[in-house]
Amino acid sequence: MEQIYNHHLWGGNDFDFYSGEGSHDPKIIDPYLESVTDFLKSHETPLVVCDLGCGDFNIGIQLTKHTKKYIAVDIVENLIERNKTIFKKDNLEFFCLDITKDELPAADCVILRQVLQHLSNAEIQKINEKLIDFKYVVLTEHIPKGLFKPNLDIISGQGNRTKINSGVDLLQAPFNLKIKENICLDTYILENHKGQIVTNLYIM
């Protein structure tokens, strides 16, 4: 992940850190923010949220005010140090963690936004096993439009499974995540047959 940011493989050459168009294009992020904000505000008691793979925090900073506490996590140490200097809120904390290996912070809700799609199945499974500790999971994935074969394995890196007409679906084998309810919060259809970005709320 450090190489992705260092070499601007997701674009944003004018930025020190840039988490890609999916974290900056208003057409993509505005409907997402609206739907997730509505979910967070629907709770009489604000939730503690853990953002796994917070990236450059362009999205997370807009959600913090709707939470009791917002814990932002990323594996890139210098990115986390940069975020700490830029984003300061009384209810905001940043941690540098490897979410496939390290213990996750306690929270009511996990946000995983376009993170799993870059990981191998073995790494996804390690995260998948930890999700049962939370009440809610807000999961966003870039998947093909139409029929596709879920969860074909890849080598971890900057790419995703859409190139092989696949996408991550935690409810399907080999992950088979057990949930109480699945609510689709947002779907954005990408142009030029590049698939769709889908956000689901899993009630655990």
DSSP-derived 3-state class of residue 65: helix
2-203 fold: Rossmann fold (3.40.50)
Q: Report d(CA 39, CA 61) in Å as an integer.
A: 16
pLDDT at residue 17, rounded to an integer: 55
- What sections of 42-116 are H helices per DSSP? 77-86
Buried/exposed code over 156-167 (b: 16+ C-beta within 10 A; e: otherwise): eeeebbbeeebb
DSSP-derived 3-state class of residue 30: helix
pLDDT at residue 91, rounded to an integer: 98
Domain ranges of the chain: 2-203
Cα→Cα distances 15→3, 5, 204, Å = 15, 10, 37
The strand pairing partners of 72, in sequence order, are: 51, 94
pLDDT at 4 > cutoff 50? no
pLDDT at 7 > cutoff 70? no
**pTM more than 0.85:** yes
Quick one: how far is CA 155 from the chain centroid?
19
pLDDT tens per residue across span 82-107: 999 999 999 999 999 999 999 999 99
Three-class SS string for 150-197? Answer: ECCCCCCCCCCHHHHCEECCCCCCCCCCCCCEEEEEEEEECCCCCCEE
Say which amino acid occupies 201.
L
Cα→Cα distances 72→45, 60, 144, 152, Å = 20, 8, 28, 29
pLDDT at residue 192, rounded to an integer: 80
Query: C-alpha angle with apex 192: 165 to 182, nearest 5 degrees?
Result: 55
What are residue 61's phi and psi, to 5 degrees? -60, -25
Q: Report d(CA 199, CA 193) in Å as an integer.
A: 19
pLDDT tens per residue across span 47-77: 999 999 999 999 999 999 999 999 999 999 9
